[in-house]
Amino acid sequence: MNRKRWMILAVCMLVLLSLAACGKADGGDASGAAALESALRQVRDKLDEAKHDEAESGSTADDSEPEPEKTPEPTPEPSAAAEPEQAAVEKIELTRVPSGGDEYAVITGYDAAENTVWSFETPRFGVTEMISVVELGQRGDRYYYVENTTVVCLDVQTGTRLWENSDYAGRATGFAFGDSALYLCGQYGPDFFAVSYTGETLARIEQFDPNYYWASEIELRGEQALVYLHGGTPNYDDPMIFCVDLHTYAVSPAADTAPAGQSFAEQYRAVLLTYPAEISGYKTKYTLYDIDQDGTPELIVHEDVSYYYIYSFDGEQVIPSEKFYWNYSNGLYAYDGNGLVVHDGGQGFMRFEYVEFYTMTGHQLEWSEELMSSENYTYSEIREYLDTLTPIDNFIPITDDSYLSNS
């Protein structure tokens, strides 16, 4: 029942109650009964009218505020099954495979458990004296190799080919990762190639000097790249070394990087550029020691296990001494005056040992005399004498410029 019907009914009830009260007050005569009957008819009429209005409006709702319908909770859609994460690649292997007159490589990324994460085969190339697919290695999240004559960069985790550079056009024999670029050389050219880590060619030098060839190694020293060429030299094991400025890409022979007139430090630095950083697993090292006590130190280079090279400075240029072969890698001792004490020997069946004295003459080191030997002294006596001297043992790698920078 709606509000209108309730109001009509309430009004009618009040009217009836009023009439009933009036009838009692009048003693209940016929006129009061007639009035009451008339009021009841009016009530019925009003109620019928209200019903008719409801029927026409189609409203049968209760007068009270309807309760809001509850919004049904949305049914969650079933989520797609999460794909398993790809295992991280921990190492990459390049395996060269011969195939008849061709060769190719299989490059594979492995996770920590040696499971294959990705793998692919390179194209096939005809076999020549030079290897067709050469691994350069990984740097950060990138892996580099040379495919025939093209430098290729892969994403380590996916094996995706990120870029390739065919400007190289060489067979890789030497390479070095720099701070901002990858540097390469090739046996038959180019002698020098620089490519950025985004694949742009920075420099390409086909040939430094027509008299020298077979570029086989490249080494970075500070702001320079040293390229070793073994062809055209009197001795294959004594290569010609060229320096490439990594800013301007200017080229010069290593021996010419510090012409006469520059300081001893600059000229000694140029001398060090002519030595490889490592030979047969032994780092090439150097030190500075004033052998003749003239105020300018000599440069002493220690190469391999037993080779020593002495350089002096006459105020204008560097003067080299002959190459010395001393067995012990820690056999040099300081002398109070012009000279150098050397502990040598210790090899062969007789195991003779010597303590010898060298002096500087005309800026060159020369043998002077034998101080002791195991033919005349016991090993204990030789050791006791050496313990009274100060060893020259402060050698550092030639790639460390600190001694010369502080001179």
pLDDT at 60: 47
Task: Say if residues 208 and 172 touch (Cβ distance below 8 Å).
Answer: no
Cβ-in-10-Å burial (0-12, 13-18, 19+) of 349 comes to: exposed
pLDDT of residue 111: 96
Torsion sign (Cα): 313, 319, 324, 329:
positive
What are the angstrom distances between the C-alpha of 90 and each of 11, 108, 136, 155, 157? 93, 11, 17, 12, 9
Cα–Cα distance measured from residue 112 to residue 265, given in angstroms and rounded to the nearest whole number: 49
Q: Which two tokens stand for residue 31?
A: 């006129």
**pLDDT greater than 90 at residue 208:** yes
Least confident residue range of 289-293, 310-314, 344-348, 394-398: 344-348
pLDDT tens across 160-182, in order? Answer: 999 999 999 999 899 999 999 99
Structure tokens at 202: 């920075």
Looking at per-residue pLDDT, the higher value among 9 and 332 belongs to: 332
- Phi, psi angle pair for 403, to nearest 5°: -60, -45
Percent of the chain topping pLDDT 90: 63
Q: Sorting pLDDT into bands at 50, 70 and 90, what band is 258?
A: low
Residue 183 CA: distances (Å) to CA of 13, 64, 92, 255: 109, 88, 21, 22
Give the CA count within 13 Å in the CB-facing half-sphere of 252. 13
Percent of the chain with pLDDT over 70: 77
Tens of pLDDT, residue by residue over 91-122, are: 999 999 998 899 999 999 999 999 999 999 99
> Once rounded to an integer, what is the mean pLDDT over residues 259-273?
87
Sketch the domain layout of the chain as residue ranges: 3-52, 276-405
Cα of 246 vs its chain's centroid, Å: 20
Between 60-74, 155-169, 247-261, the lowest mean confidence (pLDDT) is in: 60-74
Q: Which has the closest alpha carbon to 170: 212, 211, 139, 201?
A: 201
The answer to whether 247 touches 223, Cβ cutoff 8 Å, is: yes
Q: Average pLDDT, whole number, for the chain?
A: 85
Residue 43: what pLDDT? 56
Burial group, residue 270, by CB count within 10 angstroms (0-12, 13-18, 19+) = buried
Predicted confidence band at 294 (pLDDT cuts at 50, 70, 90)?
Answer: very high
3-state SS track over 155-217: ECCCCCEEEEECCCCCCEEEEEECCCEEEEEECCCCCEEEEECCCCEEEEECCCCCCCEEEEE
The confidence band for 124, taking pLDDT boundaries of 50, 70 and 90, is very high
333-383 pLDDT tens trace: 999 999 999 999 876 555 789 999 999 999 999 999 999 999 999 999 999
Residue 42: the pLDDT is 66
- Summarised one tens digit per residue, pLDDT across range 5-59 is 555 555 555 555 555 555 544 544 555 556 556 656 665 666 666 666 655 655 4
pLDDT given at position 338: 95
In the predicted model, what is the mean pLDDT of residues 182-208?
A: 97
Average pLDDT value for residue range 142-152? 97
- pLDDT of residue 67 exceeding 90: no
Longest CA–CA separation in the chain, Å: 170
**pLDDT confidence of residue 37:** 63
pLDDT over 90 (residue 81): no
**82 pLDDT higher than 80:** no
The overall pTM is greater than 0.75 = no
Check residue 329 and give its pLDDT: 84
Q: Which one has a higher pLDDT value, 49 or 265?
A: 265
Instruction: For residue 396, give every residue at least 6 positions away whose Cβ sits within 8 Å of its Cβ, in sequence order, or none.
Output: 285, 286, 287, 402, 403
Sorted by sequence, the CB contacts under 8 Å of residue 70 that are 6+ apart come out as: none
- Rounded to whole angstroms, how far apart are CA atoms 374 and 377? 5
H or E element in which residue 98 lies: strand 91-99
Q: How far apart are CA 287 and CA 278, in angstroms?
A: 16
* CA distances for 366 relative to 21, 100, 357, angstroms: 153, 60, 9
Q: What's the rounded mean pLDDT across residues 218-226?
A: 91
Q: How far is the C-alpha of 53 from the C-alpha of 41, rounded, in Å?
A: 18
